[in-house]
Amino acid sequence: MKFLNFRLGAEAAVSALAAPAGDALTTFRTQKRAPKFQFVGINEDGAEFGKDTLPGQLGRYYIWPSKYSIDTLIGRGMNIFRIPFMIYRLVPNRLNGPIDSTYAQGLIDIVNHITSKGAYAVLDPHNFGVVDDRSQLFADNDKVIFNTNNEYHDMDNQLVLPLNQAAIDGIRAAGATLQLIFVEGNSWTGAWTWVSTGNGATPLNPNDPAAPDGSKIIYEMHQYLDTDVSGTSDNCVSSTIGEQRLREATS
């Protein structure tokens, strides 16, 4: 199972984004000249907005990421973009129902733009533990990375493994056998609470039919660097807080 490379890549992106704008651009330029991490990237929000207004109007309640912004960040050295989307827009009315072709085309368009530039696109079904498989849309694109869900929380840890396993099985059954899959834990998949909330004790290790050795599975942990770990403050606790909050989960 891959883990270290993504962990380091996540730290790089977080530290760059926590710095002032000028410092961030300098960081990206430096990393482009002398890359240290497999992945350095950013979350591109927008398509999951307006959760209380479904399906919602494009441009009013939700948007797709800016291609111009993505191109700029690729030029600065980023190579991975997480694209949150809403399952209830992609598959309205009921899970396992027909795909909404308009919303699906928006997702396909932005993902193809990213991957055509040589970067990776992470598909993030942003519905907090709801799992649905639409991976056939990208089964042939090896620069797409699938995320099983977004941030399990407030559930029995014993439910996390079967939900992750169901998502993995569905992704592989749809023909997407080349791609990496990101797997999340419980309690908002927080790194600093990974051990204390039981994610480390619960057997999260899923079975991957496409790679039984676990080489295509990556644990995705989320971590903010402000005082209350909410991500709502511009104040970073310290220059080493990222490493400190990741230490227990990654030791």
SS3 string of the chain?
Answer: CECHHHHHHHHHHHHHHHCCHHHHHHHHHHHHHCCCCCCCEEECCCCCCCCCCCCCCECCCECCCCHHHHHHHHHCCCCEEEEEECHHHHCCCCCCCCCCHHHHHHHHHHHHHHHHCCCEEEEEECCCCCCCCCHHHHCCCCCEEEECCCCCCCCCHHHHHHHHHHHHHHHHHCCCCCCCEEEECCHHHECCCCCCCCCCCCCCCCCCCCCCCCCCEEEECECCCCCCCCCCCCCCCCCCHHHHHHHHHHC
Is the dihedral angle over the CA atoms 66, 68, 71, 76 positive or is it negative?
Answer: negative
In order of their start, the domains of the chain are: 4-250 (3.20.20.80)
**pTM, to two decimals:** 0.80
Contacting residues for 193 by C-beta, under 8 A, at least 6 apart: 187, 199
Ranges of the chain with pLDDT below 50: 1-28, 30-31
CB 99 within 8 A of CB 91: yes
Query: What's the pLDDT at 92?
Result: 85
Using a 10 angstrom Cβ sphere, with 0-12 exposed, 13-18 middle and 19 or more buried, the burial of residue 216 is: buried
Nearest to 246 by CA among 18, 10, 39: 10
Q: What angle do CA 229, 233, 237 make, to 5 degrees?
A: 60
pLDDT at residue 203, rounded to an integer = 58
